Amino acid sequence: MIPAIAMPLLAGCVPAELRAVASGEEAPIMNEELSAFIDEVYKEPYSLVFNNCIDKSLRIMAKAESLGMKTDLIGCIAVLKAKRYRNLPVVSPHFYAEIDGKKVDVALDPVREEIYCKNSEVGIVMPVNISEMGRAFFRRVGFTGCLLRRG
């Protein structure tokens, strides 16, 4: 798991204004095609119904998987600070992608980041690797699971 003070976004996968590396760390090397795609997804307007954190994360994961990278979907509880409302905390469910073990969180577009905090400043509580849970479930149950073994 990546510590909260570590670089929350991939340096090669985010817009230039968000590229920051914690002191003492080197920027990870990332595929240019994936970097451009993540930048496009980041700039798309956020919509609670059609272009939310799940949709953006799944699209990024699909692109990364097509390029042969290991991806995971992480679900958590997010704590956002609403800057326009005197840093009022907003608590909500949240999802983000992990590509080769690095967190990629581009749920909020640049306009929403002016209202709330930046994607890199979102507080993460109780992260759960949903992809790993799915792999474990299908490994245990799957199509040849316990129902077929009993019959």
What b/e sequence results for 20-32 when a residue is b if at least 16 CB atoms lie within 10 Å of its CB, and e otherwise?
eeeeeeeeeebbe
d(CA 9, CA 60): 13
Is residue 123 situated within a structural domain? yes
- 11 domain residue, yes or no: no
**Structural domain contains residue 10:** no
Cα 11 to Cα 19: distance, rounded to the nearest angstrom: 5
In a domain, 2, yes or no: no
- Count Cβ neighbours within 10 Å for each residue of 137-147 and write b for 16 or more, e otherwise: eeeeeeeeeee
Of the chain, the percentage scoring pLDDT greater than 70 comes to 72
Query: Does residue 28 surpass a pLDDT of 50?
Result: no
Cβ atoms < 10 Å from Cβ of 52: 14
CA 76 – CA 87 distance, rounded (Å): 21
Residue 8 within a domain: no
Containing domain of residue 117, as a range? 16-150
pLDDT in tens, 112-129: 999 888 988 999 999 999
* The pLDDT of residue 75 is above 70: yes
| 7 assigned to some structural domain | no
Indicate whether this model's pTM tops 0.85. no
Domain count, the chain: 1
What is the per-residue pLDDT for 84?
84
| Mean pLDDT computed over 79-106 | 92
In a domain, 126, yes or no: yes
